[in-house]
Amino acid sequence: MSRVSTGPALGATWAAPANIALVKYWGSRNPDAGLPLSPSLSMTLRHCVATCTVRPRAAAGVQVFQRRRRGQRAGHGGGAEVAVEVTFPVAAGLASSAAIFAAVTCAAIDAFDLELHDDALADLARAGGSGSAARSVAGGFVEWRPGTGDETELEVIAPASHWEVRDVIAIADPCPKRVSSREGHRRAFSSPYFDRRLALLDERIARVRDAIRRRDIDALGAVAEEEAVDLHLIAMSSRPPIRYWRPATVAILEEVEAMRHDGVSAWSTLDAGPNVHVLCEPGAEPEVARRLAGVPGVQRIIRDRVGEGPVASARTLL
C-alpha cells in the first residue's frame, strides 16, 4: 500500500478494485469474520472499483495496540464519517463487497495515519465478513491462504505488469442476489461434494500458479472453468440449495464454448451470482466482447483487465 495522506482534517480517499477468483473461496471456518477454510487465488481487476473517503471526527483519538506477531492494529473511540461510491452492480456476484471493504480499509488506515503490512491489511479488510476483500488490497495475481487462528496469509504471485489478462464481464442479471455469499459459505458444508472439492484445491492452485508463470491462457482458463462449475455445484447441492444461474447464464457459457470451437481462446468463470467473467488475452478481447453482447439476455458488457490494486485519490466524497 503506497500512502498519500491528505491529513486527518480532510480524511483520506482510496479507490480499491474488485477481483475475480480463479480458485474460489467457498466454505468458511467463520463466515462472519471472513475466515477461509481453503486457499484461493484471484486476479485483481482495474475498472470495477469502489471509492471510499474516511474522515475522522475532530475529537477522535486513535488507540493503537500491539498485535501478536503482526505490528499494529487500530481501535478507535471517536468514530469517523465514511462515504462509499461503487460504479458497477452491487451484490450481483461481481465482488463489490471485496472492493468496498478493501477501499474502506485502505482509506481508514490512511486517515488514521497507521502503518500495516499486507497480511495485516488483508486481515482487516476481510474481518467485516467479505473474505475475498483480503485479496483486493493487492494488485496482480494474488493467493490468499487460511493461515492459523484469526490470521490469514496473502501472497502476490505476480504483479499486473507480468501478464495482461482481460476480463470481459457479461451481465445476465444486475439485481442483488437472493442468497448472500455469507449464507453460501455456511451452507457449503451441507453439500455431499464439499469434502471432495476441498481435496482438489492444492493441485488447482499449483496449476494456476504454473499457468500464470508461463502466461498460458488455456491452462489458466481450464482451471478457472472447473472451479466455477464446482462452486455452483456445491451451491446447488447445499441444503437448502442455492441457484445463482439464470437462463442467460447458460446461454453465455455455451457461447464461450462456441468461441473456443471457432479458435478464440476465451474461458468462463463465475463468482456467487449469475454474471459471467470471460478471460482472454488482449488480441481476443474485441471478438469476445462482440459475441457476448449478441447473446440473448445479456444486459450489459463490462470490459475489465488485470489491475494494480488500491490507489489513493485526491477526490473527497464527503
What residues make contact with ligand PMV under the rule CB under 6 A? 21, 24-26, 34, 40, 95, 97-98, 130-132, 181-182, 271-272
Rounded least distance, CB 112 to ligand PMV, Å: 24
Nearer to ligand PMV, 95 or 284 (CB): 95
Instruction: Compute the least distance from the CB of residue 141 to ligand PMV, in Å.
Output: 13
Nearer of residues 119 and 230 to ligand PMV, judged by Cβ? 230
Q: CA-based Rg of the chain, rounded to a whole angstrom?
A: 19
What is the rounded distance in angstroms from the CA atom of residue 269 to the CA atom of residue 116? Answer: 32
Give Cα 5 distance to the centre of its chain: 25
Q: How far is the CB of 94 from ligand PMV (least distance, A)?
A: 9
Comparison of 12 and 37: residue with beta carbon closer to ligand PMV: 37
How far are the Cα atoms of 14, 54, 98 from residue 315, in angstroms, in the given order?
A: 9, 12, 21
Q: Say how far apart CA 55 and CA 136 lie, in whole Å.
A: 22
In whole angstroms, the minimum distance from the beta carbon of 223 to ligand PMV comes to: 13
Query: Whole-number minimum distance, CB 227 to ligand PMV, in Å?
Result: 9
Give the C-alpha separation, 271 to 177, whole Å.
11
Q: Is 303 helix (H, G, I), strand (E, B) or coil?
A: strand
If the CB atoms of residues 98 and 217 are measured against ligand PMV, the closer one turns out to be 98
CB of 180 to ligand PMV, least distance (A): 7
Provide CB contacts within 8 A for 279, sequence distance 6+.
20, 43, 165, 166, 167, 217, 220, 221, 224, 266, 267, 268, 269
Count of C-beta atoms within a 10 Å radius of residue 63: 10
Give DSSP secondary structure letters for 56-125.
E-TT--EEEEEETTTEEEEEESS-EEEEEEE-S-SSSSS-HHHHHHHHHHHHHHHHTT----HHHHHHHH
Q: Considering beta carbons, is residue 8 or 184 the nearer one to ligand PMV?
A: 184
To ligand PMV, the closest distance from the beta carbon of 302 in angstroms equals: 16
